[in-house]
């Protein structure tokens, strides 16, 4: 059974703090790693799809790195804002025929 772990489970930070989360996944048979942001009462929104070891992607104040050999990805948020409050989900795809296996998410709360 493939296991995707995210840590921490929840995080409370002050506005302006920078923060990061971890997604751990199987290091064998890697195909792709997805990150999604899910705000309450809204649809999950894709942030990044990463496919190559060493990939680094950036969207505004949010960036992500990927290490497929050791099976982890980091998501960084620089200068957190209240609108960054959401659950951040990562999802692993193993093999060309595999489906996305989601982690349980990291719930971020940013206080003004």
> Of 6 and 80, which CB lies nearer to another protein in the complex structure?
6
The first and second tokens of residue 6, run together, are 């995210």
Q: Is 103 in the site for another protein (CB under 8 A)?
A: yes
CB 56 within 8 A of CB 64: yes
Task: Determine the size of the site formed for another protein (CB under 8 A).
Answer: 25
3-state helix, strand, coil in the chain (%, to 5): 5, 55, 40
Closest CA relative to residue 11, chosen from 88, 70, 74, 103: 88
CB 23 within 8 A of CB 6: yes
Smallest gap, in angstroms, from Cβ of residue 107 to another protein? 10
Smallest gap, in angstroms, from Cβ of residue 96 to another protein? 8
Of 53-61, 66-74, 77-85, 94-102, the segment contacting another protein by CB under 8 A is: 94-102
| Cis ω for the linkage preceding 8 (within 30 of 0) | yes
Footprint on residues 60-89 left by another protein (CB under 8 A): 89
Q: Which residues contact another protein (rule: CB under 8 A)? A: 4, 31-32, 34, 36, 41-46, 49, 51, 89, 91, 93, 96, 98-105
């Amino acid at each position: 059974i493939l296991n995707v772990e995210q840590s921490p489970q929840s995080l409370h930070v002050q506005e302006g703090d920078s923060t990061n989360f971890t997604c751990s996944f199987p290091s064998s048979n890697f195909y792709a790693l997805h990150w999604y942001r899910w705000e309450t009462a809204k649809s999950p929104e894709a942030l990044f799809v990463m496919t190559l070891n060493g990939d680094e992607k950036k969207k505004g104040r949010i960036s992500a790195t990927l290490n497929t050999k050791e099976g982890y990805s980091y998501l960084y948020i620089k200068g957190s804002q209240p609108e960054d409050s959401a659950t951040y989900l990562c999802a692993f795809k193993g093999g060309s025929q595999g489906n996305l296996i989601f982690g349980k998410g990291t719930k971020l709360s940013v206080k003004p």
